[in-house]
Structure 1
Amino acid sequence: MNAPVPPPLGEVVAAASSGRPAVRTTCPYCGVGCGVLATLDGQGGALIAGDPEHPANFGRLCSKGSALGETLGLETRLLHPMAREGDGPLLRIGWGTALDRIASAFRDTIDRHGPDSVALYLSGQLLTEDYYAANKLAKGFLGTANVDTNSRLCMASSVAGHRRAFGSDTVPGCYEDLDEADLVVLVGSNAAWCHPVLFRRIEAARARRGTRVVVIDPRRTATGDEADLFLPVRAGMDSIVFSGLLVRLAEHGALDDAYIAAHTSGFEATLAAARELAPDVATAARAAGVEAEALEEFYRLFERTERVVTCYSQGVNQSAQGTDKVNAIINCHLATGRIGRPGMGPFSLTGQPNAMGGREVGGLANQLAAHMDFSPGSVDRVGRFWQAPHMATREGLKAVALFDAIAAGKVKALWVMGTNPAVSLPRADGVREALRGLDFLAVSDNVAANDTLGCRPHLVLPALAWGEKDGTVTNSERRISRQRAFLSPPGEAKADWWAIAQVGKRLGHAAAFKWRSAAEVFREHAALSAFENGGTRDFDLSGLAGLDDAAFDALAPVQWPVRGAGESKRFFAEGGFYTSDRKACFVPPRRPELARATSEAYPFLLNTGRIRDQWHTMTRSGLSPRLGAHLPVPFAEINAEDAARLGITDGAMVRVASAHGALAVEARLAAGQPRGTVFVPIHWSEATSSCGRLGALVAGDTDPASGQPEAKATPVTLVPVEMPFRGFVLSRQAMTPPPAQWWARATLDGAIAYILADDRPPQDWLHAWLGDETGAVRLDDAGAGRYRFADFDEAGRIRLVAFVERSDRRLDWSGALSWFADEERDIARRGQVLSGRAESGGACGPVICACHGVAQDSIEAFIAGNPAAGLAGIGAALKAGTNCGSCIPELRRLLARTEPALG
């Protein structure tokens, strides 16, 4: 009998701020899965607030979530199906014709080359219903398991580690464990920037119960700055740290022998392997590159603190040793029985909004839906449930191998949905060439232009965007939440599950793809999870399989499993694992070594990751002015000693090159960057920079268990680039990039910015591009290498400003930007903009708090006048740091500058 449906929050609640109804939905950014209240503003957009009743965030949003309302415009949207004939341009076609072409291309390719000649490449941005439909089509009706996802690049090593240890891809704990832990260990996770809402929960626990925070990371990030203990582990050596911890726990009698005996297998062999890797603290410290005293302190904290949560993210997963790192962490929790109980357990922090949902429906090429694998029994079970005529019987190609097969001509037809592989995959230049060589390439997306769409697809389909989608997502704690539509679909945009179903019907499978709504897809997904389950599989939504449409619409956030009332939302406190003997497996990690070592030609290790206010390749977050002002250009963080040796100064241009590609970015000297390493963020693409695309450099060696590519340790070289002329162009309207040798694009409040660098005087290239506009004012000092230009429209509003001059660092645009207010300018005052000063007399400097738009000079001025105010005083006066808190580390650095004066 189906369990009762959880009490609904309701789809619509009153929004006191506007008097309009607010729709409860879920944020489309990271895996935290924050609840959002979206209220239509009457102008085609929406007001965004955190949902105080959602158990993931209780009303908090990070800077990106807070700025979602600024990303809802249609200027960049793909609105109609488009197709290309031969080498011609994309031309508008009807949906019927487009769907016929996909079906025909897949059918013909399979007839000629077999089912493994076709593939789908999906995204953690898809809703669970989209993911389910795609996997059903490919694995049950096309007969191929070549269905993988960009989530392979984020968390596949966690999946593999879970399956090796638990027999299933099960996250044992929940967010409440962060509230109840006495020690939180963050491994390879810059949670203060990448999962700030969860990090605020950790900080609240620290304030309430004295929770200690240990951060283990090669790079000292904003999270490391907030830690009680920071361990700067050498790249790839995390499993050494946790093998040493296992040895320490055994030698100090800190094991839970009863739990090990009753609920696990393989402990003795794993402990023996750990002793070979790290027989004592001194050996572990040398191998891991940390101080022995600091490592001893961590071991002592873990040993003596029962309630420990170990959170890990991309620094663990995105590694050629990622799965071993995951299992080394899990080993320590199994050995102490610290799993599945309040305030304890290993916890994977996922990067995408629906990476978990994709895992649930078989979004990875080595899995089937409902957490089943390719064992004969599971293949038979899923095939019978789907009544599938062409059931795939073996694993498909994982992401990196899939694109290698495309390049080799083995995969000939590909459908890409909601992702940008020409930027995000390793060896991205090779990926571009592979995409261009396909016999058939279809792309479903909601943007009209990105790097993948630049690879000349044969067919482009307009997908729904956030705010228009309707379905479900699952966050890092296994909590299913509704994404509800509050905007009408623009143009001819359609749901991805609908497009997939239409292709399935055209291939002759109308009965299997007869869904009329996302609710119907969800019911089938839930029913499959319950099919012949009986408690043998972790993933079970039997209590939701009977939801009618109204109950689906009103579905409250709910953690799986959902079988009946009163079941625990944590796993494994009393065993019950999903292996054949129901015992967890200890897994001995291999001796870690980097997939590729540095050399004389490539003496540095490249680390990659995210920044605070941007997301993936910026097709959404790059539209927000408040997010564009914090870190507006691609950069490389470099150790100051390394930079001095190479003649690289802070703010100068630097070339970073690997054996696979190169980029040019701005140098940032960072105290937390270890010697011999460099950090470059992932976000810039061909659309937002001339030479900041990182994926082309990444080597892409993969973890043998998970297939996840290494993104944290590619050997590179650093070379200073002489570009003595720096500048910017601010334009009220979108424009093509200026003819500078180097540029980066950012969206600001009131203007689009192009940041420029060149080795030529601006008079040689900028003057001709700007022309002699009527009403323009100009400062042209060729002797000093300075050129400034401002143009005004007929109403007297400033239209465009360009500043270029000889400088060793990026110019500050904030003064010129202040002139982009809408009021008219008296002709006599127009020349003042060329001073570069704001009308108030001072530039406002970079934005520190994106949530509330608080600039650095305002904060510094407040601190100067109130030196004892501290964080609380800044928050009370300026609101900085009071929302998501991701700017708090920077606020603390600004406060620290006043400490000598206070002393």
Structure 2
Amino acid sequence: MATEVKTTCPYCGVGCGVVATVGDDGGIGVKGDPDHPANFGRLCSKGAALGETLDLDGRLLYPEIGGQAAEWDEALDLVADRFSQAIAEHGPDSVAFYVSGQLLTEDYYVANKLMKGFIGSGNIDTNSRLCMSSSVAGHRRAFGSDTVPGCYEDLELADLVVLTGSNLAWCHPVLYQRLVAAKAARPQMQVVVIDPRRTMTADIADMHLAIRPDGDVALFNGLFAHLASSPAFDQGYISPHTSGFAEAFAAASAFDQATLARLTGLAEQELAAFFQLFESSEKVVTCYSQGVNQSVSGTDKVNAIINCHLATGRIGRPGMGPFSLTGQPNAMGGREVGGLANMLAAHMDIEKAGDRDQVRRFWGAPAIAARPGLKAVDMFRAVADGRIKAIWIMATNPVVSMPDADAIEAALRACPFVVVSDVIRQTDTTRHAHVLLPSLGWGEKDGTVTNSERRISRQRSFLTAPGEARADWWQLAEVGSLMGFAGAFAYASASEIFAEHAGLSGFENDGRRDFDVGAYAEIDGAGYDALMPFQWPQPRGKASTVTRFFADGGFYHPDGRARFIATTSQIAKRVSDAFPFTLNTGRVRDHWHTMTRTGKSARLSAHIGEPFVEIHPRDAMELDLSPADLVVLESPFGAAVVRALITDRQARGNLFVPMHWNDQFAAKARIDALVPPITDPVSGQPASKNVAVSARRFAASTYGFAVSAARPEGLDCAYWALAKARAGWRLELASQTEPDDWVAWCRRIFDIPVDIEPIGYADGPSGHRRLAFFDGAKLLLALYLAPEPVAVARSWVVEQLGASHADLRLRFALVAGRPGADKPDPGATVCSCFNVGINQIVAAVRGGCRSVEAIGQTLNAGTNCGSCRAEIRGIVDGCLAAAAE
């Protein structure tokens, strides 16, 4: 009989509940949990495809030392010895941990306890530094604590939702669907999207403000100055609950409308309309994400937003408040346990002697870190210059995701001792590890995560641990014991760690700290197994409830008042004659971080199968770029080669490239190699949204497209991008110098037996060539080559990997790259959930469908996760507009 387990999605910070079903045959089914208050049964395309990412292909299953299999005892002894040796010879700051929002709270807690309390260094930082540390810094400056005031329900209760620096439709799709449903129920609700790009989120916007990169402080300062002289100004809230208004107002009112228009890149009429809308809408939620945080002025952006809510008293009440949308599933949990180098566990402050003493006493620690450790960028600089002798990297891939990524790789290559805990054997980071430790993956590990609305949920195991994989907390506890701290790390289960974490949160708290889950300090294994999602705070003796902060003040500065923060509106010039374009990096709809999980799913790779750059048509024309050409992007720090996506959704002079692709899936697409290692001076968060680059056409002599049953190995093309297909792999390639013999090249790269001869043709005048290899009725490889980007029916060709080709006519149709009239090409995938292509949607419109809903009724497209609805609407509108001409 099938077994159902309620767990939590491991992707974004929405924290959706998932019901995983393990069938009698071992098959895994995944659906949304209708009882979970984050998603009420909804899942996005990534969450819906989780069951497709659980195979053991590519898994790290055994410890390794120097690339050779080892026993756990041997590997952990070596880790403990090398860390202890570095500490003895060079002091505790000579070692570091770089951890991840992919860790569970229990893993995070043990890592911080070991580094900050027992090793005695602050040198533990997290990849959450790259996505939400500016929000943390802004919260702490304004509120005295890292507190998210509101909850998801506020987005549905608001009269105005402002989405700034957030492509909600693609990056937090379930929240987007909740917002879409709320707007449909209350059409008077207004949505404003503030983004240099016209993203899919703008599909529901009543107003899209195509702001200049890093113009956010100027915009919200202008809004703040406007509100201060409007009826929305709430002196009754400001006087008893805040301080610093005069200084913040003086800074915000320094510029007139014309100057604000120049700084923001917006027309004065647009500014006036936005200011009036914000003023007249009492229930306002301002949601912000990486477009705000990932900036040299990220903390000021956050505080400029918060200032507007404090000035109007629109905070902590239903439908009101600033709302930080975290990127990773447990970025918030990491913040709770002090995962950032400048924080202590339980939202305590590493720079306060009293807080340090409190944590030290609770832990019974021999020492406590006396000062903040190195933030991520500075940490890897210290690895590069030799100050850090040993580093342990857990559940993250910094050689892809860190700015100046080539320098990160060089630093790890030169580091005396690198430990990596991961689930995947081959990543851009694991190749530099002296010791590899196999960790549990989603479905195998057991613990808790906290989402963006402060809701703690269980991730439960429903799969047996493969090979010798072990929990991250277990690895850390074992090393802590071997380093001489056995009594403090004698954990038998994740529930014991959670109970200790809860106990620390309530220890000597008495309402002085926002984070308090002391009600669970005595939870046992059975209670932990049965733990339902709940929102913090949850002090001992208090009933669980939906909680908002600060409606009646109660801030966490010593005087109980919030702080207005004076912020500056100056914008640094990045572009130059040599690097005239502004590069913005981010995510796409169906992939996650560096693709170690989503790259396993053919469904998720079908929508966008290769790295690309969005570029405005006029910019493309000036660069002599045609659709699907390849583009070389360069900065002073690195270079990448990506496909041109020419679109007027992108503003002139601006480019967008997703951050997911890496050396496992593309030849040269680690886009963070181009990002400079410059950071916000307060938060230490890198500026990944405003990068000066140059662009030029990549001159290729031959372009190619291939599908293969086996994964290609040893690709030696100047450009290639690899993606999983339903029965194999799909490959885009381009060469500047061709191999002498393409058949021999195919045998070497795709491991084609010498006794299998290809069929195909070569057209001398056009330069087009085709090769296909069959083993009986099974297609092994089809390769299409041309002197220009190859035009074949890609979706149809990919489907042929799983088809029988006993009929010779089908083989020759495959070589031609075009289906017969009886098998229409579905076109590029739009709806990943139901594998619906653009050609199918266009045909449905021509057949009478005039709306997204009609397309859903006819093709099912857009009726599951809904992430593709904006794209479908664009196709429908485009077809109808063309028909009307």
Which TM class, normalised by the smaller chain length? over 0.9
Matches within 5 A, 1:651-666: 651-666=628-643
Aligned match of 2:769:
787
* Residues 722-774 of structure 1 deviation map (CA, whole Å, 9 limit, x = unaligned): 12422212111223154322100101222211111123457654654337652
RMSD, aligned CA: 1.5
Aligned-residue offset at 1:612: 0.7
Matches within 5 A, 1:263-278: 263-276=241-254, 278=255
Distance 2:453 2:583 in 1: 31
**AA of the residue aligned to 1:237:** G
* Residues 830-856 of structure 1 deviation map (CA, whole Å, 9 limit, x = unaligned): 333212123544322110011221111
Distance 1:507 1:761 in 2: 56
**1:438 aligned onto 2:405:** no
Q: What SS class does the counterpart of residue 543 from structure 2 fall into?
A: coil
Aligned match of 2:818:
837
**Closer/same/farther in 2, CA of residues 867 and 485 from structure 1, 3 Å limit:** closer
* Residues 34-79 of structure 1 deviation map (CA, whole Å, 9 limit, x = unaligned): 0001111344441110000000000000010011111000011000
Distance 2:27 2:425 in 1: 19
Q: Is the 8 A contact 1:651 1:809 kept in 2?
A: no
**AA of the residue aligned to 1:553:** D
Aligned match of 1:206:
183
**AA of the residue aligned to 2:807:** D
1:105 aligned to which of 79, 82, 85: 82
1:169 aligned to which of 146, 151, 161: 146
Q: Is the 8 A contact 2:793 2:818 kept in 1?
A: no
Which 10-residue stretch deviates more, 647-656 or 574-583? 647-656
Aligned-residue offset at 1:782: 3.6
**Closer/same/farther in 2, CA of residues 582 and 684 from structure 1, 3 Å limit:** same
**1:632 aligned onto 2:609:** yes
Q: Is the 8 A contact 1:361 1:370 kept in 2?
A: yes
Aligned-residue offset at 1:475: 0.2
Q: What SS class does the counterpart of residue 370 from structure 1 fall into?
A: helix
Q: Is the 8 A contact 1:762 1:787 kept in 2?
A: no
Q: Is the 8 A contact 1:724 1:808 kept in 2?
A: no
Distance 2:745 2:514 in 1: 66
Aligned match of 1:87:
none
Where does the alignment leave 5 or more consecutive residues of structure 1 unmatched? 1-18, 85-89
Q: What SS class does the counterpart of residue 100 from structure 1 fall into?
A: helix
**1:898 aligned onto 2:879:** yes
Aligned match of 2:233:
255
* Residues 231-257 of structure 1 deviation map (CA, whole Å, 9 limit, x = unaligned): 011111101111011111112232110
Distance 2:241 2:603 in 1: 51
Q: Is the 8 A contact 2:13 2:331 kept in 1?
A: yes
Matches within 5 A, 1:521-560: 521-560=497-536
**AA of the residue aligned to 2:830:** I
Q: Is the 8 A contact 1:739 1:766 kept in 2?
A: no
Distance 1:543 1:413 in 2: 38
Aligned-residue offset at 1:282: 3.4
Distance 1:773 1:783 in 2: 30
Aligned match of 1:15:
none
Distance 1:558 1:773 in 2: 62
Q: What SS class does the counterpart of residue 655 from structure 1 fall into?
A: strand
Aligned match of 2:726:
749
Distance 1:566 1:436 in 2: 49
Distance 1:684 1:367 in 2: 31
**Closer/same/farther in 2, CA of residues 810 and 216 from structure 1, 3 Å limit:** farther
1:314 aligned to which of 263, 281, 290: 290
Distance 2:876 2:174 in 1: 23
* Residues 361-382 of structure 1 deviation map (CA, whole Å, 9 limit, x = unaligned): 0000000000001110000000
* Residues 466-519 of structure 1 deviation map (CA, whole Å, 9 limit, x = unaligned): 000100000000000000000000000000000100011111111100110000
1:180 aligned to which of 147, 157, 160: 157
Distance 2:326 2:809 in 1: 56
2:833 aligned to which of 829, 851, 862: 851
Q: Is the 8 A contact 1:236 1:592 kept in 2?
A: no
Q: Is the 8 A contact 2:805 2:811 kept in 1?
A: no
1:647 aligned to which of 603, 621, 624: 624
Aligned-residue offset at 1:800: 1.4
1:875 aligned to which of 850, 856, 879: 856
* Residues 611-667 of structure 1 deviation map (CA, whole Å, 9 limit, x = unaligned): 111000100001001110111111111111111112112211110000000011111
Matches within 5 A, 1:13-28: 20-28=2-10
Aligned match of 1:813:
794
1:886 aligned to which of 867, 872, 885: 867
Aligned match of 2:806:
825
Aligned match of 2:344:
368
2:552 aligned to which of 563, 567, 574: 574
Distance 1:72 1:737 in 2: 26
Distance 1:813 1:148 in 2: 43
Distance 1:468 1:314 in 2: 30
Which 10-residue stretch deviates more, 872-881 or 105-114? 872-881
Aligned match of 1:394:
371
Aligned match of 1:14:
none
Q: What SS class does the counterpart of residue 792 from structure 1 fall into?
A: strand
Q: Is the 8 A contact 1:727 1:810 kept in 2?
A: no
Q: What SS class does the counterpart of residue 37 from structure 2 fall into?
A: coil
Q: Is the 8 A contact 2:3 2:23 kept in 1?
A: no
Where does the alignment leave 5 or more consecutive residues of structure 2 unmatched? none
Aligned-residue offset at 1:295: 1.4
Q: What SS class does the counterpart of residue 372 from structure 2 fall into?
A: coil
Distance 1:347 1:748 in 2: 38
Aligned match of 1:10:
none
Q: Is the 8 A contact 2:535 2:546 kept in 1?
A: no
Q: Is the 8 A contact 1:646 1:719 kept in 2?
A: yes
Aligned-residue offset at 1:566: 5.8
Q: Is the 8 A contact 2:75 2:435 kept in 1?
A: yes
Q: Is the 8 A contact 1:773 1:791 kept in 2?
A: no
Q: Is the 8 A contact 2:726 2:799 kept in 1?
A: no
* Residues 787-817 of structure 1 deviation map (CA, whole Å, 9 limit, x = unaligned): 21111224x2112111111224664422322
**1:289 aligned onto 2:253:** no
Q: What SS class does the counterpart of residue 789 from structure 1 fall into?
A: strand
**Closer/same/farther in 2, CA of residues 738 and 842 from structure 1, 3 Å limit:** farther
Q: What SS class does the counterpart of residue 160 from structure 1 fall into?
A: helix
Distance 2:31 2:139 in 1: 35
Distance 2:457 2:545 in 1: 19
Aligned-residue offset at 1:822: 4.5
* Residues 407-439 of structure 1 deviation map (CA, whole Å, 9 limit, x = unaligned): 111011000000000110000111001001111
Q: Is the 8 A contact 1:31 1:349 kept in 2?
A: yes
Q: What SS class does the counterpart of residue 148 from structure 1 fall into?
A: strand
Distance 1:730 1:685 in 2: 20
Distance 1:774 1:269 in 2: 78
2:357 aligned to which of 360, 368, 380: 380
Distance 2:615 2:513 in 1: 47
Distance 2:339 2:368 in 1: 15
**1:234 aligned onto 2:216:** no
**AA of the residue aligned to 2:16:** C
Distance 1:810 1:181 in 2: 47
Aligned match of 1:865:
847
The percent identity for this pair of structures is 52
1:467 aligned to which of 419, 427, 443: 443
Number of residues of Structure 1 aligned to a counterpart in Structure 2: 874
TM-score, structure 1 length as denominator? 0.95
Which 10-residue stretch deviates more, 420-429 or 754-763? 754-763
List 4+ stretches of structure 1 deviating above 6 A: none
**Closer/same/farther in 2, CA of residues 680 and 773 from structure 1, 3 Å limit:** farther
1:722 aligned to which of 688, 696, 699: 699
1:48 aligned to which of 30, 33, 40: 30
**AA of the residue aligned to 1:830:** R
Aligned match of 1:190:
167
Distance 1:782 1:556 in 2: 67
Distance 1:898 1:829 in 2: 32
Aligned-residue offset at 1:353: 0.4
**AA of the residue aligned to 2:286:** T
